[in-house]
Amino acid sequence: MNIKLAATDHPILKLLAERWSPYGFEDRPVPEADLRSLFEAARWAASSYNEQPWNYLVATRENAPEFARLLSCLVEANQVWAKTAPVLVLGVVSLQFAKNKQDNRAAVHDLGLAAGNLGVEATARGLAVHQMIGILPDKAREVYQIPEHFEAWTAMAIGYRADPATLPEALRVRDLTPRQRKRLSKFVFTGQWGQPSPLVLKPDP
């Protein structure tokens, strides 16, 4: 089910147009084989110096105590809806290069690339991913004994999209609200900041 296919201005891959982040998830588990493939996709993301600074903590609703531990690391507003997802994931990033202990300015960027790969793989498998910045990093460090120079940065809820009609009103409205994005002219510049590149002002032939 995909009710929010992107209305793109230019052609893109179908999987990218289909990807969106629901608040409602069906009450059914995600096969372990699919989860392994999602993390395999993340594994093959590009990263600065091939550092691969991402780490993941994962919990499924089938393991209730572990799921509750990870859920406790989300801010309350996210716990309200994420508790229905069959899988929760905490994204942890190493902020130093392993080889020389220098700061890795690309670390968070690279965590995002891995998450992007994971999201596309999920979409190809009929799954949905809702990423969150609303987490409690200090709580996560305490719960999971995350070592120094590593930091919990994001979380993800993974599962099958629920029919919005089955959701409470507030979540139903969110899942039915049309997707919107800035036009390319608002963020692709040439010459000086804020000056749209002629490239993005031209229509496709």
pLDDT, one tens digit per residue, over 154-195 is 999 999 999 999 899 999 999 999 899 999 999 999 999 999
SS3 at position 3: coil
Q: How many domains does the chain have?
A: 1
Q: Is 15 left (phi over 0), alpha (psi -120 to 50) or beta?
A: alpha
Would 183 be classed as within a structural domain? no
Range of the structural domain that residue 91 is part of = 14-164
In this model, does residue 1 exceed pLDDT 60? no
Would 196 be classed as within a structural domain? no
SS3 at position 75: coil
Would 203 be classed as within a structural domain? no
Would 122 be classed as within a structural domain? yes
Over residues 65-96, the pLDDT tens digits come to 999 999 999 999 999 999 999 999 999 999 99
Secondary structure, 3-state, 91-126 = EEEECECCCCCCECCCHHHHHHHHHHHHHHHHHHCC
Percent of the chain with pLDDT over 70: 99
Q: Which residues of 31-57 are buried (b: 16+ CB within 10 A; e: fewer)?
A: eeebbebbbebbeebebeeebbbbebb
**Residues 185, 201: contact at Cβ < 8 Å?**
yes
Would 8 be classed as within a structural domain? no
The CATH number of whichever domain residue 97 belongs to comes to: 3.40.109.10
Would 178 be classed as within a structural domain? no
Look at residue 2 in the predicted model and tell me its pLDDT. 54
Would 150 be classed as within a structural domain? yes
Give the span between the Cα atoms of 165 and 119, in whole angstroms.
24
Would 204 be classed as within a structural domain? no
- pTM of structure: 0.94
SS3 at position 185: helix
Give the span between the Cα atoms of 85 and 79, in whole angstroms.
10
Give the span between the Cα atoms of 160 and 20, in whole angstroms.
12
Angle at 139 between CA 134 and CA 142, to 5 degrees: 150
DSSP 195: -
